[in-house]
Each structure stands twice: as C-alpha cells, then as structure tokens.
Amino acid sequence: MCIALLAPLGGFLVTWLMPGQAVRLATGTMAISFLAALWLAITTWNTVTHVTLPWFTAGTEVLTLDFAIDNRSLLMLVVVSFISLMVHIYSAVYMRGDTGFARYYAMLGFFTFSMQGIVVTDNLLLLFVFWELVGFSSYALIGHWHTKRSAGAAATKAFLLNRIGDIGFLIGLMIVWRTQGTFTLTDALSFPITSGWQTAAALCLFGGVIGKSAQFPLFTWLPDAMEGPTPVSALIHAATMVAAGVFLLIKIFPLFTETALVVVAVTGMITSLIGALAAMSQYDLKRILAYSTMSQLGLMILALGMGVVDGAFLHLLTHAFFKACLFLAAGIVIHALAHAQQPHFDFDAQDVRNMGGLRKMLPTAFVAFLLGGASLAGIPFFSGFLSKEAMLVALFTHASALSWLMIVVVLSVSFLTVLYTYRMIALVFLGEPRTVKTINVHEVETGMRIPTLILAACSLWLIVSWNPFDFKGWMHHTGHAGPHELWLTIISVLWVFAALFLARMIFGKRTPETNSLLRNAFYIDTAYSALAEKFTQVNERVTSFTEQRIIDQTLHGIVYFQVIIAHITGWVDKHIVDGIVNGTVRVTGWTGRAARSIQGGNVQLYIFWAIFTIIIFIIWALN
C-alpha cells in the first residue's frame, strides 16, 4: 500500500531534482504506483485493511495516522492511478516544448500523491491535510502558464473558493472532535451523537465538499480553471479532484441526518441544473466540458442526498473515465488547431464557432468524442447509461415526495445533457468547416491518441458489467432488484432517444446563438466578483479611517502627554529640587554666619560667651 501511496510522491521529488529526465521518471513512478494499486486491489478485495501509526501528541491526546482500505478505496486507488498514468503519457506529447515541463510533471506527481492520500486515509485531520495539498496542487497546475494573467487569476480564484469551503470543513472537524473525541472515521462514525450537533457537523463538512466539488454556490472557479493545460483539466477537474468531494461525502455518509441530506440533495439539484443549462450555451469547448462536469457532479451529490450511495459511487467512477476521455480528445482538437496556426495565431483554438467538420481531419478525436459523449449522454451500451440507471432505480425505490422531485430533475438534466453533448459534437465535428478551412489541420501523434482511445474504451459498458442493461456488477454492490426495474430502464432508453432526436433537429443544420444569461451561468460569477470588489473597498475605507482618526489621535495624545510631563518635570526640577538645594545653602550660610559671629573679634563678646559656658558648666556639674 505504501508503494501505491508514496510512489507518486517520490516521482514528484525526483522530477523536481532531476528535471532533465522528467518524463521518464514521472511516468515510470506513476506506472509503478498503478501496478501497486492494482495488485493491492486484487489481493485485498472485499476486505478492509486498517493501518494505524502514531502521529503526534497534543497535550494528553495522541493523534494517529489512520489508513483504512476498503473496496471503495481500492477502486479509487486504481482509477486515480490509471487516469494519472494516461495523462502522464498524453502530456509527454501535449506539453512538449513547454518551458515548465519538469515543473509540470513534478506537480502532476504531487497531485496524484495527495489524491491517493485522500482515498486511503481514515483520519479526518489527515484527510484535511491531503485535501489542502490537493487544493494546492490544483492551484499550481491551473496556473502552470503563469505568464498569462488570466491563468494566475483563475488559479487564485480556485484556491480562494476552495478555501471558503474549507472553513466549513474546519468547523466540521472541530465539531467532530468535540462530540466524538477522535478524528478516526471508523471510530467517529460508530458513536452516536445528538442530532443537532450531527446535522451541524455534517453540513459543515459538506461545506468543504461544496468548495472542492464545485457545487452551488462555490462553483465559479471551475469554468475559469480551464485556463490550465488540457491534460490537467482531464486529470483534476474531470476525474479526480472534483470527485474527491463526492468521495468524502460517501465516506462520512453515516454522519448525515435527514435534514442534512435534504440540504445536500437540494444543493446537488441546483448545481446540476445550472451546469446543464450553462453547458448548453457556451462557445468555448473546454467550458462546455467544465459545466458538464459540474452538472454531473451535481447529479452525484443529488443522489447522495437521496441516500443512493452506491449509485453515486458508480457514477463517480464511470464519469471519471468518460470525462477524462472527453477532455483528452478536446485536447487533441485544440493542440492540432494551435499547431496548424503557427507561427501566427489568427483565432481562438478553443472556440467552437471556429470549428466544424473536423471529423475528416481528426478521426481519433471524433471517435473518442463519440464514445465518451455517448457515455455522458447516457445512451445504452455505455457505462454512463448504467450508472445513471443505478441512480434512477434507487431514487425510484425510495419513493418519497422529494424523490419524485429529484427524479424529475434527474430526467431533465439527462435530457439537457444529451442536448448539449450533441451540440458540442455537431459544432466541432459535423457539418462544414468554418474558420478551420483556412488552415491545414493534421492528425496528432500516437502518444496523444492512445491514452485517449484507451479511456474511450473504458467508457463502454464492459467496465461495469457484462450485461449492457444491468448495472449490478463488480463495481456496484447493493441490489434492489425490484419489479419496476425493467420498465424504468425502457423508459429511460426511450427518453434518451427522444432527446437525441430533438437535438438533431435543433443543432443539426444551423449554429444558433445562445442565451447570454445561460452562457454566463446566471451571472453568478460576475456577482461574486463585484461583491469581492465592493468588500475590499469598504475594508479599505474602514482601515484608513481607523488609521487616521484613531491611531493618529492616539499618537497625538501620547505626544501631548509626553510634552506635559516634560514641562511638569522641568518645573519641579527648577523650583523644588533647586529650591531645596538653594534652601540648604542659605541655611548653611546663615548658620555659618551665626556661628561665626561668636568670634566677632569683640573681646567683650568672647567674655560673654565664656561666662555663658561657665554657667552651663556650673549647672551641669553641680546638678
């Protein structure tokens, strides 16, 4: 297990130190990690491995590093390392000639290590550590082309919004510690806690999930994260990091009460609707995919909110494969277009309005898009269909009022998914070439095509189970084999084909203009920016006011006070101290003069004093 966890970390360190051999080292370590994960999965399937190491002591509490590997962790380990490996191979070609080549691979390794950490840990605090590391890696990778201003801004936005979610995570951590007394999940989840605190803890931890998995309202960073290189988007923002939130939710699922679950479900519902609607109206190829990811994540969160844990997990896995495949294929398109435009760039290689008819020039990408897109749309014979099935069936058997609403939402979202997927494929590959007519686009190298095709293959139904219509396989565990199952399947199939038909009608021939409201995702992002700006201005005014009035006034007061003290001291010194000295002098002088007057030179006075003394002597002697 350690190998699987630490090999990517080793890759990160080694690549940092020896940038020349970056590709081979990183890919090699990633391959090692994947094989180790696979071996671990095969050997420890259906068992739960616990490893506990002492970590540190804070006062009387001893905190431990806990690792728990169960089936889900094993699956995630394998999937993460596999997709990371594909991305490593792909990036060898995509990022060739990039100035930050070694840095890129180092961060890829670091990210994979962090992600593996999230997957295997059983300790909430340790998970938080890895959570933050993943966020940091995402920041570094989004802003990889740091000379581009938009990249830096996007990376910062991602990090900030992630951070806001993490505040909730921290509060949730504190609540768990306070009520359960331990961070270890297996222990924490086995104690009962009062429902008020439980809901609070669950919702706070869900806050972290909202930030990391781009749910409403902290989703605006995901479209901007497309500023990073496409392989990065494939790895992080489609398959793994955003899935980390869902994974966390699955892990702490026993913590959620009824009310918390309702909140979760509603959040997922809103997110998936917004994502789907926005994806319908984007012009940027990667943004379509980003909003699509957001929508699919919303679906997973929604399913979790309704208690469909296994279905959500299955969808997580299948989504990882087909979304990564889609991103890599998009990368092929963008890379080919960018290369063909050299040495001067006339148009945006990512804008779909410039593309069209690329099926002839980039067949690999076309095939990949078809397969991945079909899976995304939920067409039968593909993995996506099966995972959506799992969710729908579970929702149906739940049969509460809320679940009927959710079923409606899920159906609407899947309808929209079909629509925008078709639109995307149509605009890019079908029809006649538009601006790309002017350039000579040629097929990309094998190094990029093979990983894409491998992932495309994983989007087929075979990954899940042998039966293309039955989702219960080795990935999925529970079985609610209800009688309603079959006709539900038939309905969903019909639903999908209806959507396809409609899509072909709408998007087949023309390229319609899109609604700007949808395109800007209901202007939520703009609202956030304006709010942040306003807040900063208010902050600035308050601070300057404080500084001027309060601080300066205090300083002035102190200075005046000092001056007054100085004056008083001077007065005291002049009159009292000197007065004492002068007085002493005067007294001494007077005494001296008085004493001196005895010896006045007057004989008679001498006689007088002598007689005086004699008198005193007589009095004394004769007494």
Partner 1 sequence: MPHLILVYLAAFLFCTGLLIVVIKRNAIMVLLGIELMFNAANLNLVAFNRINGPNLDGHIFALFVIIIAVCEAAVGLALILRIYRYYQSSTPDQFSELKG
Partner 2 sequence: MSFVDAIFLFFAGLSAMAAIAIVFSKNVFRSALWLLVCLLSLAGLYVLSTAEFLAVAQILIYAGGILVILLFGIMLTTRISGKPLVVEHRHILSGALTAVALFVLLSLYLPGLTVEKNMLSPEPVSTLGLQLFSQYSLVFEIAGVLLLVALIGAAVIASELKSKT
Name residues contacting partner 2, limited to 569-598 (CB under 8 A).
none
Q: Which stretch binds partner 1 (CB under 8 A): 146-154, 421-429, 528-536, 596-604?
A: 596-604
CB of 215 within 8 A of CB of 209?
A: yes
Q: Which does 617 bind (CB under 5 to 8 A by kind): partner 2, partner 1, none?
A: none
Q: Is the dihedral of CA 248, 328, 9, 72 positive or negative?
A: positive
Report the 10 Å Cβ neighbour count for 398: 16
- Contact region for partner 1 (CB under 8 A) — 156-164, 232-240, 324-332, 604-612? 604-612
How far is it, in rounded angstroms, from Cα 564 to Cα 543? 30
Cβ distance to partner 1 smaller for residue 254 or 600: 600
Nearer to partner 2, 45 or 606 (CB): 606
Residue 590 in contact with partner 1, rule: CB under 8 A: no
Q: Is 58 in the site for partner 2 (CB under 8 A)?
A: no
Q: Closer to partner 2 by CB, 487 or 620: give it.
A: 620
From 304-312, 319-327, 556-564, 603-611, give the range in contact with partner 2 by CB under 8 A.
Answer: 603-611
For tokens 């998995």, the residue is 213
Task: Tell me if residue 284 falls in helix, strand or coil.
Answer: strand
Least separation in angstroms between residue 599's CB and partner 1 is 3
Question: Least Å distance between CB 601 and partner 2?
Answer: 13
**CA pair distance 401, 147, nearest whole angstrom:** 52
Here the tokens at position 507 are 């998007």
| 619 near partner 1, rule: CB under 8 A | no
User: Residue 516 or residue 623: which is nearer to partner 2 going by CB?
Assistant: 623
Nearer to partner 1, 343 or 601 (CB): 601
401 vs 619 by CB, closer to partner 2 = 619
Asked if residues 176 and 124 have their Cβ atoms less than 8 Å apart, the reply is yes
The distance of closest approach from Cβ of residue 618 to partner 2 in the complex, given in angstroms and rounded to an integer, is 5
Question: With CB under 8 A as the contact rule, which of the stretches 136-144, 337-345, 389-397, 602-610 interacts with partner 2?
Answer: 602-610
Among 592, 604, 606, 620, binds partner 2 (CB under 8 A): 604
392 touches 488 (CB < 8 A): yes
Determine which residue in the list 611, 613, 617, 618 makes contact with partner 1, applying CB under 8 A: 611
**Residue 510 or 596 with smaller CB distance to partner 1:** 596
Which positions ≥6 away from 444 have C-beta within 8 Å?
93, 332, 335, 336, 362, 364
- Yes or no: say if 349 and 341 are a contact pair by the CB < 8 Å rule: yes
- By CB under 8 A, name the one of 602, 613, 617, 618 that touches partner 1: 602
How many residues sit in the footprint of partner 1 (CB under 8 A)? 11
287, 528 contact by CB (below 8 A): no
Among 357, 353, 347, 350, smallest CA distance to 332 is for: 350
Distance of CA 13 to the CA centre of its chain: 23
- Residue 284's CB is within 10 A of a number of other CB atoms, namely 17
Binding status of residue 593 toward partner 1 by CB under 8 A: no
User: Residue 611 CB, nearest distance to partner 2 (Å)?
Assistant: 5
Q: Is 618 in the site for partner 1 (CB under 8 A)?
A: no
Which among partner 1, partner 2, none contacts residue 603 (Cβ within 5 to 8 A by kind)?
partner 1
- Considering the complex, state which of residue 532 and residue 615 has its C-beta at the smaller distance from partner 2: 615
Q: Is 596 in the site for partner 1 (CB under 8 A)?
A: yes
Taking the complex as a whole, the smallest distance from the CB of residue 589 to partner 1 amounts, in Å, to 16
The Cα–Cα gap between 542 and 524 comes to: 27
- Residue 621 interacts with partner 2 (CB under 8 A): yes or no: no
List, in order, residues 6 or more apart from 178 with CB less than 8 Å away. Answer: 197
| 435 burial via Cβ count (<10 Å: 0-12, 13-18, 19+) | middle
Rg of the chain over all Cα atoms, to the nearest angstrom: 38
Per the listing, tokens 């009095």 go with: 619
3-state SS, residue 306? coil
- Kindly give the interhelix angle for 485-507 and 401-428, rounded to the nearest 10 degrees: 40
Binding site residues, partner 2, CB under 8 A: 604-605, 608, 611-612, 614-615, 618-619, 622
Binding site residues, partner 1, CB under 8 A: 596, 598-604, 607-608, 611
